[in-house]
Amino acid sequence: MSFTPQANRYQSMPYRRCGRSGVLLPALSLGLWHNFGHVDEMKNMRRMLRFSFDNGITHFDLANNYGPPPGAAEENFGYILKKDFKGYRDELIISSKAGYLMWDGPYGNWGSKKYLVSSLDQSLKRMNIDYVDIFYHHRPDPDTPLEETMSALDLIVRQGKALYAGISNYHPEEAAKAIAMLRSLGTPCLIHQPKYSMFERWVENGLLDLLEREGVGCIPFSPLAQGLLTNKYLHGIPKDSRAAKSHGFLQEKEVTEDKLKKIRQLNELAKERGQTLAQFALSWILKDKRITSVLIGASRPEQIEDSLQCLKNTDFTADELQRIEQVLQH
């Protein structure tokens, strides 16, 4: 069945400028880290991508290793892109990354020019596109000179395989060096993708100030702390949750009674604002004007629909912020 997007899809989504660039990103972007592998249902993937675009989400975020298996998310996204979005490529921001283990041998991981160039070539083939809008180095490489990694990003942009360069998981000191290096090469860093949520706040210790000062955008991932900041864990660990799975990124040992108590208290504050806990957690990040967009993940369109409701209220009173801090710092 052919897809015709909603004519009014841009009316309700706020778009924020990415640093000092010409790029505007939707306040919420869709990440394909989970639920877009070969183990997932294609029909559901198509529904989520269509629903997102119908509601003004123009940015889809991938990486070479998203799956399972690695590469599967890009393959599935490329298939749906060709089927449903063929005439809309210029309305989309498509991003990918490389930096984690992707293939065997000494050239399939980290940050060498060999790996980054080869990986993006593979990503473009999987998605059947000529370029990505943003290409990130996914994590710092302690053994490859930063000059080599940043020059690879510069080369990729100059080759036209990516329009913009970004970094992810870089802490303030290394981010400052990478941003300065890219600027000196003539390819400014567009955006940084760090992990940030109410339970993971290292970005507040210098990174957000750095990005604002340097004119670099910020797009946090895992804003709901792998699902902890949703109503799923209000009554403990459900059997179908990520924490209940041995292979998941969220481990059962991380879901402590202290954390569950905080989740329940935050949920009460969310109710006072007329929000779900997930909406509350997303609004809390978006309150900061230094944030360009927030990456959400979803397993079905209804979760995206719920997240979109956070955009109705991203302002917090001083009293609300103080009460949130009291819960988080207790």
* pLDDT-derived band at 245, boundaries 50, 70, 90: very low
**What phi and psi values does residue 270 have, to the nearest 5 degrees?**
-65, -45
Ranges of beta strands (E only) in the chain are: 15-17, 24-26, 28-31, 59-61, 93-98, 132-137, 162-168, 189-193, 217-218, 294-296
What confidence score (pLDDT) does residue 236 get? Answer: 65
Q: Is the pLDDT of residue 197 over 60?
A: yes
Least confident residue range of 138-142, 150-154, 326-330 = 326-330
Residue 41 CA to its chain's centroid (Å): 21
Q: Is the pLDDT of residue 234 over 90?
A: no
Please say whether the beta carbons of 116 and 123 come within 8 A.
no
Residue 106: Cβ within 10 Å count = 9
- CATH number of the 15-227+291-300+308-314 domain: 3.20.20.100
What confidence score (pLDDT) does residue 251 get? Answer: 53
What confidence score (pLDDT) does residue 252 get? Answer: 64
Least confident residue range of 160-169, 201-210, 233-242 = 233-242
* pLDDT-derived band at 247, boundaries 50, 70, 90: very low
What confidence score (pLDDT) does residue 232 get? Answer: 86
Whether the full predicted model's pTM is greater than 0.85, yes or no, is yes
pLDDT mean over 220-238? 87
* For the chain, domain boundaries: 15-227+291-300+308-314
pLDDT in tens, 167-190: 999 999 999 999 999 999 999 999
Q: Is the pLDDT of residue 293 over 80?
A: yes
CA distance 185 to 190: 14
- Mean pLDDT over each residue of the chain, to the nearest integer: 95
Burial label for 103, CB within 10 Å (0-12, 13-18, 19+), is middle
pLDDT in tens, 1-50: 689 999 999 999 999 999 999 999 999 999 999 999 999 999 999 999 99
pLDDT mean over 54-76? 98
Residues in the chain: 330
DSSP string of 36-56, one letter each residue: -STTS-HHHHHHHHHHHHHTT
* pLDDT-derived band at 248, boundaries 50, 70, 90: low
pLDDT in tens, 69-117: 999 999 999 999 999 999 999 999 999 999 999 999 999 999 999 999 9
Please say whether the beta carbons of 117 and 156 come within 8 A.
yes
* pLDDT-derived band at 244, boundaries 50, 70, 90: very low
**pLDDT-above-90 percentage for the chain:** 90
CA distance 164 to 23: 10
- Across 263-293, b (16+ Cβ under 10 Å) vs e yields bebbbebbeeeebbbbbbbbbbbbeeebbbb
